[in-house]
Amino acid sequence: MPTDIAHDLENPVDDRYSPPPCGELDEIRAVLDDGRLSGGAQILPVYERTLAHRFGAARAIAVNSGTSVLHAALIAFDVRPGTEVLVPATAPLPTAMPILTCGATPVPVDTLPNSLALDPTDVDRKLTARTRAAITLPLWGYPNDERAITGLLADAGVPTIEDAAQAHGTRIANQHAGTLGRVGCFSTHDRKLLSTGEGGFILTNDQELADRIDYYTHLGHLRGGHGVNYKLAGPLAAIGLRRLTHLDAQLTQRRRNAERILAALPPGGPLRELPYGVQDKPNYYNLVLIATARQPEIAAAFHAAGLSPDSIRWRYQPLYHQPLFQPYATACPNAEHLATATIQLPVHPQLAEKSVAWITDQTVRIAQEETAA
């Protein structure tokens, strides 16, 4: 049920979506009655088959976090000390940290202008004989068409890992995000569209790769090989199984709320939506607008209105500005622009009509004021 929220600087709209009850307690109760709460619970393979079917993949493997999924995928591609992984300069810390966990070198790559897709010129420049994988990133649930780098990576024998942590239901070239590379990595953390509190899953059409990831994330099946314990607990799988059935309705409402704000934007004004292709469809994890001029002033205006963009609220910036990744800094001007020019707005289904109207009014006001400035 949408919540009615006071609209002032002391109490801005809540960007966290808390799914309404949809029978999760019944699913959890069934797991409790079964008595097996670990990753060996009977509900796990049911959840995995349902995930694979929902997103059109041959296999799904559920694990305990999105970071664990990325780490396991890197291990499956033999990422280790002395190797390199291409990673978008737009990546947040959880995307790149697993590279360091493997002891490998992250290589930040620039994006195309006003896009989340990797720049093929920069990819070509940074590919080496040590490159073991490339990570792509539909950040904020926005599509990133990576067809321009497909041939480059294929010729180099470099597999693609999609970090689709925020992209449940996003469509790229009319396919589900997370099914275009060798493996797609998803998070089901509390802030994601499909939320189990903590958790994640991989999607792949490569059965042999799926077996390797399953083996590694399940302690090598206790058969003498090396592995880690990344299993998802049974009660969390129960939550995911029930909430998955409501994902389509959530996507519909997010898109409806986003369209309402977009329809009100002044034509030719300083704000427009982050571009995507005609066969693409965001899931609207956030509605993302780009400021075409006066970026610092527009970001400050949204912050003053209680709608802080990620660059202010979370201090979002290109990966190599983070202290941990400064040794790997490289020039990525398009990523720099994207970090400072984008405005992220909540459009989740829990927002009341009054809240969506308020966000729309604030966005229009800022656009009109900045046009007149």
Handedness of CA 284, 289, 290, 296 (dihedral sign): negative
Give 296: exposed, middle or buried? Use CB within 10 Å, 0-12, 13-18, 19+: exposed
Question: CA dihedral in degrees (135, 138, 140, 141; nearest 10)?
Answer: -140
Catalytic annotation, pick one of 192, 231, 281, 354 = 192
Does residue 147 sit in helix, strand or coil?
helix
Which of 45, 13, 78, 56 shows the shortest CA–CA distance to 241? 45
Handedness of CA 111, 117, 121, 123 (dihedral sign): positive
Euclidean distance between CA atoms 3 and 354, whole angstroms: 9
Euclidean distance between CA atoms 363 and 345, whole angstroms: 9
> 352 near 5, Cβ under 8 Å?
yes
231 is catalytic: no
| Catalytic annotation, residues | 192
